[in-house]
Chains A and B, each alone.
Chain A
């Protein structure tokens, strides 16, 4: 495999995963598309070195492998369609919230609230007991 192609694939996957881990929805969409590009390039690279155009009648010994090209073409079409759907969904999300950030998980938020309530309680009991100590000090 050509080193330049191998490096390109690596960079595309890295950038894609990094974008996918962002909070902004548009970056996630772009990240998925970039990972898709990396995968398509990997498919092409898996077919071995390039060669003459694989048309009917050509000598199979010198032509490029046509199968990965067909697979990559199919994958590109699918990625295109799905990206369009994802973008329209992101747009709908933006209309609802006027915001591009991914919301917290409902369960996560519930757990956070519960934890905060417990902490508040603890803080209050601590304050109360400190007040008690103070009162006792004055009384004595």
Chain B
């Protein structure tokens, strides 16, 4: 695939979303269209990854404008890898959503908005300038505002509101940061900014870097800026929560990774700010998870805790650290989505996600127990699952440059993660319910069997997460190539600025 085809990764889902809206009265056509579009996106993403697999970078200049004034789409190994994982996950969750109750009444709106979200995610990975990154974030976030309030129940409006307001404030800060950067350097293109920022007064440079970190920190839910996440995520319909949990915060982490390495490199030393934030994010997230009593809320707090690990890799600023962070993102997107999908099935088949009302599912639904156990052990980092590989590479990277404290913290948090996963396991799959569930007796409409599409999609993702641990070697090689490009900067800048 040459660079000229990169815009298709954004155009195809965006166009698909438009057509899907026109087709909103024909439910079957809408479903087929959605699957086709997302499959096409997966194919395009794989083609893009193939051409950057060896560590090269491909670009597309939209409308033939030069990078200093025009829009440039850039795919390097990091973007290629994330595009493939994101596309795979979007497709799997879409199939799950087709089988879930969600798509009955709200389908006419769910499909177009979901495809627009896919376009926004692709564009964020490909954006070569900060303003385009802002636009990509907005496409993604506006779709997410609609998805999180889909159905418009009272509780959703109340929790969705805080999500929307926080995201909008972050967007306002983002525009402010872009304006200040433009005022200081005269460009918004990231490759050009890299050169310009090096010549700025270090104080101004640091202030700009901190501002971007706050903006992306809100999106990625890092330590002091995460409170919106566990509050709003669990209220959305399960497939929506799964896609948010897997993707949205990771796009924020990707933006931190890209801007910190390209625009504000530390020159080989570890960044203390990022490491401290990483440690606090891990600890606070996992402690929050331990205090919760609802499957989705526990998992939501875990997202926060896991973001800390990715930040740890970025903060180490070494080749091994960044490679570990890339591998961790790939692992996390798949595993977290799977866990939320399983949580959704549990909620749908039992009418509740509260641990004290659940129990004994190991006997009534053994298949579900397996689907939960594999990704849960992986999340906690038990060998030989993908989480172990990812955590091991991060720990090794930390030990290599003698950051003992943060390595110790990450290992302790790992144990606590295992503890809270055991809590879900004990509460849901073992024993008997502490309180009889109100719907369990009534067999009301809240209690629906899981459809084959839901179980099928979840199984595919569980297999994919096992695939990550089997293919850990080659995957780590790609991650390392991605990290090399990130640290070297020159290949990226040359590909964008060069003739």
- What is the CA–CA distance of A67 and B181 in the complex, to the nearest angstrom? 13
Indicate if A92 sits at the interface (CB-CB under 8 A). Answer: yes
Query: Which of B158, B160, B161, B183 meets A46, CB within 8 Å?
Result: B183
The answer to whether B161 touches A102, judged by C-beta atoms less than 8 angstroms apart, is yes
Chain A nearest CB, measured from B146 CB (Å):
8
The answer to whether B175 touches A39, judged by C-beta atoms less than 8 angstroms apart, is yes
Chain A nearest CB, measured from B220 CB (Å):
20
- What is the CA–CA distance of A136 and B175 in the complex, to the nearest angstrom? 73
User: For residue A17, which residue of chain B has the nearest CB?
Assistant: B169
Q: Binary interface profile of B, 122-165, with partner A (CB < 8 Å = 1, else 0)?
A: 00000000010011001000100110010010100110110011
Q: Binary interface profile of A, 79-110, with partner B (CB < 8 Å = 1, else 0)?
A: 00110011001101100110000110100000
Contacts of A85 in B (CB 8 A): 142, 145-146, 164
The answer to whether B182 touches A93, judged by C-beta atoms less than 8 angstroms apart, is no
Chain B nearest CB, measured from A101 CB (Å):
11
Q: Binary interface profile of B, 471-485, with partner A (CB < 8 Å = 1, else 0)?
A: 000000000000000
* Chain A interface helix/strand/loop/mixed: helix
Indicate if A15 sits at the interface (CB-CB under 8 A). Answer: no
Indicate if A75 sits at the interface (CB-CB under 8 A). Answer: yes
The answer to whether A35 touches B149, judged by C-beta atoms less than 8 angstroms apart, is no
Contact A32-B142, Cβ < 8 Å, known A68-B182, A89-B160, A89-B164:
no
- What is the CA–CA distance of A45 and B178 in the complex, to the nearest angstrom? 12
User: For residue A41, which residue of chain B has the nearest CB?
Assistant: B179
Indicate if B467 sits at the interface (CB-CB under 8 A). Answer: no
8 A Cβ contacts from B230-266 to A: 231
User: For residue B145, which residue of chain A has the nearest CB?
Assistant: A85
Contact A35-B169, Cβ < 8 Å, known A71-B188, A89-B157:
yes
Query: Which of A38, A67, A82 meets B142, CB within 8 Å?
Result: A82
Contacts of B176 in A (CB 8 A): 38-39, 42
Contacts of B161 in A (CB 8 A): 25, 89-90, 93, 102
Indicate if B436 sits at the interface (CB-CB under 8 A). Answer: no
Chain A nearest CB, measured from B141 CB (Å):
8
- What is the CA–CA distance of A20 and B491 in the complex, to the nearest angstrom? 43
Contact A32-B168, Cβ < 8 Å, known A42-B176, A71-B131, A85-B142:
yes
Indicate if B172 sits at the interface (CB-CB under 8 A). Answer: yes
Query: Which of B142, B157, B171, B179 meets A93, CB within 8 Å?
Result: B157
Query: Which of B152, B164, B171, B179 meets A43, CB within 8 Å?
Result: B179
The answer to whether B165 touches A78, judged by C-beta atoms less than 8 angstroms apart, is no
Indicate if B273 sits at the interface (CB-CB under 8 A). Answer: no
Indicate if B28 sits at the interface (CB-CB under 8 A). Answer: no
The answer to whether B138 touches A78, judged by C-beta atoms less than 8 angstroms apart, is yes
Contacts of B160 in A (CB 8 A): 89
8 A Cβ contacts from B176-200 to A: 176, 178-180, 182-183, 188
Chain A nearest CB, measured from B289 CB (Å):
14
Indicate if B32 sits at the interface (CB-CB under 8 A). Answer: no
The answer to whether A75 touches B142, judged by C-beta atoms less than 8 angstroms apart, is no
The answer to whether B179 touches A39, judged by C-beta atoms less than 8 angstroms apart, is yes
Contacts of A90 in B (CB 8 A): 161
Contact A92-B157, Cβ < 8 Å, known A82-B142, A105-B231:
yes
User: For residue A46, which residue of chain B has the nearest CB?
Assistant: B183
The answer to whether A36 touches B172, judged by C-beta atoms less than 8 angstroms apart, is yes
The answer to whether B164 touches A86, judged by C-beta atoms less than 8 angstroms apart, is yes
- What is the CA–CA distance of A85 and B179 in the complex, to the nearest angstrom? 25
Indicate if B69 sits at the interface (CB-CB under 8 A). Answer: yes
The answer to whether A92 touches B152, judged by C-beta atoms less than 8 angstroms apart, is yes
The answer to whether B179 touches A42, judged by C-beta atoms less than 8 angstroms apart, is yes
Indicate if A47 sits at the interface (CB-CB under 8 A). Answer: yes
- What is the CA–CA distance of A96 and B175 in the complex, to the nearest angstrom? 33
Chain A nearest CB, measured from B275 CB (Å):
29
The answer to whether A103 touches B158, judged by C-beta atoms less than 8 angstroms apart, is yes
Contacts of A28 in B (CB 8 A): 165
- What is the CA–CA distance of A28 and B168 in the complex, to the nearest angstrom? 11
Contact A89-B149, Cβ < 8 Å, known A40-B175, A82-B168, A105-B231:
yes
Most buried by B among A16, A89, A105: A89
Contacts of B178 in A (CB 8 A): 43, 71
Contact A93-B158, Cβ < 8 Å, known A36-B172, A43-B182, A81-B142:
yes
Contacts of A25 in B (CB 8 A): 161
Indicate if A122 sits at the interface (CB-CB under 8 A). Answer: no
8 A Cβ contacts from A38-83 to B: 38-40, 42-43, 45-47, 67-68, 71, 74-75, 78, 81-82
Contacts of A75 in B (CB 8 A): 134, 175
The answer to whether B169 touches A46, judged by C-beta atoms less than 8 angstroms apart, is no
- What is the CA–CA distance of A28 and B157 in the complex, to the nearest angstrom? 15
Query: Which of A32, A45, A47, A67 meets B165, CB within 8 Å?
Result: A32
The answer to whether A45 touches B172, judged by C-beta atoms less than 8 angstroms apart, is no
Query: Which of B157, B168, B183, B231 meets A96, CB within 8 Å?
Result: B157
- What is the CA–CA distance of A105 and B155 in the complex, to the nearest angstrom? 12
User: For residue A66, which residue of chain B has the nearest CB?
Assistant: B69
Contacts of B158 in A (CB 8 A): 93, 103
Query: Which of B169, B182, B188, B231 meets A32, CB within 8 Å?
Result: B169
Chain A nearest CB, measured from B185 CB (Å):
10
- What is the CA–CA distance of A85 and B168 in the complex, to the nearest angstrom? 12
Contacts of A16 in B (CB 8 A): 172
Contacts of B168 in A (CB 8 A): 32, 82, 86
Contacts of B131 in A (CB 8 A): 71, 74
5 contacts between A and B (CB under 8 A): A20-B169, A36-B172, A45-B179, A68-B179, A82-B138
